[in-house]
Amino acid sequence: MKGNNDIIGIGLESSCDETAVGIVHNGTDVLANCIFSQVDLHSEYFGVVPEIASRSHLEVINALIRKALQGAGISFKDLHYVAATNRPGLVGSLLIALQSAKAISYTGNIPFIAVNHLEAHLYAPFLEGNALSYPFIGLLVSGGNTAVYRVEGAGRMELIGKTVDDAAGEAFDKIAKFANLGYPGGPRIEKMAETAREKRKLFPKILSDSPDDTRFSYSGLKTAVINFMKENPGTPLEEIVYSFQERALELLVRRVFTAARKQSVATIVVAGGVAANGRLRQLLEEERRPGETVLIPSPILCTDNAAMVAGIGYRYFLQGSFSTLTEDVFARSQ
């Protein structure tokens, strides 16, 4: 049990194919981080099936809430606020966490906070001992999102650049599907790329180096890779996926450092599922200059989780920025 000046919040997450409940103390201390992954439910479809996802969220969320409370050694009466993701994501899935959070808020008479899933991801490194300092440049890269933001504070995110077509993680998944590597594609491509011997550059650099070009684009690269595999069946697959991964990750690194240096911001946060990629972490470290800081959460906090939701919820709690029980869900981040 925490003292009277301590703030404990619970976060709920169900935006896509992970159901999660997290409990955080004072915005930094993770007391519980329970995640149920639906990968096995969707793997045969090589992607998330919305109806299956929402049904699974509904089936497991109450058990996860109980598990999180027990793991943290607290009860509902010890909570000071409840936060839940309400955007962006699959509408049917988002509703599960949102409605559960509203029920906790109403019955416990505690503040309810609706959270932007993308903003929550960019808060993840601050749950692992990194001091929170604004502003920072945030790179959010996952199966559904690839974008760079300037973050000035809770609720204060300025979009600098985003993908004009596929997200980076989506391209990984589609190429893995074509190559019969399985789902999700990112970890499988990363593992296979490590076995490449010649490490050839089979595909050209994506987009320009101009500091005014803030776009990401992966559709053309994805098509080029698939066409190459069709036309060159004798080329070792590990060489192909290595070259693809290098080009895909190089653009992420180039764009985020260009944005940070142009805006004279020394701290970069990289988050989202693709941030778990070991080669991306290596490339970021190689590009980092003295005086620059790159923060990346542990792999468990790169995936969708609710500790990050509870964490950013704490910042809203301090501001007194609460949501009403009429808050809705949104497929996009608005």
**DSSP one-letter string for 225-240:** HHHHHHH-TTS-HHHH
pTM of the model: 0.94
Residues constituting the chain: 334
CA distance 29 to 31: 6
Alpha helices in 181-268 (DSSP H): 185-193, 219-231, 237-262
Q: Is the pLDDT of residue 3 over 70?
A: no
Angle, alpha carbons 12-15-20 (nearest 5°): 35
Question: Backbone phi, then psi, for 254, in 5-degree steps?
Answer: -60, -45
pLDDT tops 50 at residue 1: no
Distances in Å between the alpha carbon of 87 and those of 108, 114, 247, 309, 328? 24, 8, 30, 12, 9
pLDDT tens-digit readout, 180-214: 999 899 999 999 999 999 999 999 999 988 888 99
Return the pLDDT at 44.
85
Domains and CATH numbers, the chain: 8-126+302-319 (3.30.420.40), 135-296 (3.30.420.40)
- pLDDT bracket for residue 74 (50, 70, 90): very high
pLDDT at 5: 73
Do residues 162 and 146 lie in contact, with contact meaning Cβ atoms separated by under 8 Å?
A: yes
Nearest to 98 by CA among 333, 334, 323: 323
- Residue-level pLDDT at 46: 83
